[in-house]
């Protein structure tokens, strides 16, 4: 019985998170009211406050879920094979992110980038959490670059962390441009240029 209640509780919490994430991805955190979340999720206010102390608490949970999902769906699979060619892994990661935007038809852009632009100057707690997501992203890429250097695929004199930061910034910017132009070819060209940039560091 307790396991059934626990399963039902997890489903209700996920229902709230799913609804809030959909709304926030399109219209932003500050423009999404608690009433919007309740209406979209079909969950009552009492149930909401059972799982989340406040809208801020919900925001933290969404950011944590975004981080986990990004690692599990994109970063993890792209860099899981320690024996694979690191440069090809980076290319594969760029392609994964591009394909995700293609499937969304440029609607919504990058939820991490959207939240960072909206909240970094107005909420320090959210800023720190969001900075953490981009740091995880940069770290995975930097480690791949370092492996490429160790295997002689990339030049030893390059700064792996700086190159990784450039790749993150370029990819994030390309998502913003494709969102504002509603044209996936903008991002496709940017991804091609990022790959071409990486070849400049070939050993």
Domains of the chain plus CATH, in order, are 1-52 (1.10.10.60), 60-199 (1.10.357.10)
Pick 82 or 88 by higher pLDDT.
88
Per-residue confidence (pLDDT) for residue 108, from 0 to 100 = 84
pLDDT attached to residue 111: 87
In the structure, what pLDDT confidence band is assigned to residue 1 with cuts at 50, 70 and 90? very low
User: Over pLDDT 70: what percentage of the chain?
Assistant: 96
What mean pLDDT is predicted for residues 8-16? Answer: 84
Confidence band, pLDDT 50/70/90 cuts, at residue 61: very high
202: confidence class by pLDDT, cuts 50, 70, 90:
confident
Res. 182 pLDDT band, cuts 50 70 90: very high
Would you place residue 73 in the very low, low, confident or very high pLDDT band (cuts 50, 70, 90)? confident
Q: Where are the alpha helices (DSSP H) in the chain?
A: 2-27, 34-41, 45-51, 55-70, 76-79, 86-103, 111-119, 124-150, 160-181, 184-199
- Give the pLDDT confidence score for residue 8 in this predicted structure: 61
Distance CA 108, CA 134 (A): 18
Average pLDDT (74-90) is 92
Given pLDDT bands bounded at 50, 70 and 90, which one contains residue 3? very low
Q: Which pLDDT tens digit goes with each residue over 89-111?
A: 999 999 999 999 999 998 888 88
Q: Among residues 101, 132, 137, which one has the least CA distance to residue 25? A: 101
In angstroms, the CA 65 to CA 84 distance is 28
Q: What is the pLDDT of residues 117-137, one digit of tens each?
A: 999 998 999 999 999 999 999
The pLDDT of residue 66 is above 90: no
* Residue 67 confidence (pLDDT): 85
Rg (CA), the chain: 19
């Amino acid at each position: 019985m307790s396991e059934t209640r626990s399963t039902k509780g997890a489903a209700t919490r996920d229902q709230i998170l799913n609804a809030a994430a959909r709304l926030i991805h399109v219209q932003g955190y500050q423009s999404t009211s608690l009433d919007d979340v309740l209406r979209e999720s079909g969950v009552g206010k009492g149930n909401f406050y059972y799982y989340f102390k406040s809208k801020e608490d919900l925001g933290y949970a969404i950011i944590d879920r975004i981080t986990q999902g990004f690692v599990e769906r994109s970063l993890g699979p792209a860099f899981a094979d320690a024996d694979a060619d690191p440069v090809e892994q980076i290319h594969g990661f760029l392609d994964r992110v591009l394909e995700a935007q293609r499937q969304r038809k440029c609607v919504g852009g990058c939820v991490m980038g959207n939240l960072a632009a909206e909240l970094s100057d107005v909420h320090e707690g959210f800023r720190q959490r969001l900075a953490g997501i981009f740091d995880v992203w940069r770290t995975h890429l930097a480690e791949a670059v370092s492996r490429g250097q160790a295997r002689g695929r990339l030049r030893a004199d390059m700064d792996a962390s700086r190159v990784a930061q450039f790749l993150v910034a370029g990819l994030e910017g390309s998502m913003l441009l494709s969102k504002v132009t509603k044209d996936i070819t903008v991002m496709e060209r940017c991804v091609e240029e990022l790959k071409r940039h990486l070849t400049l560091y070939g050993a």
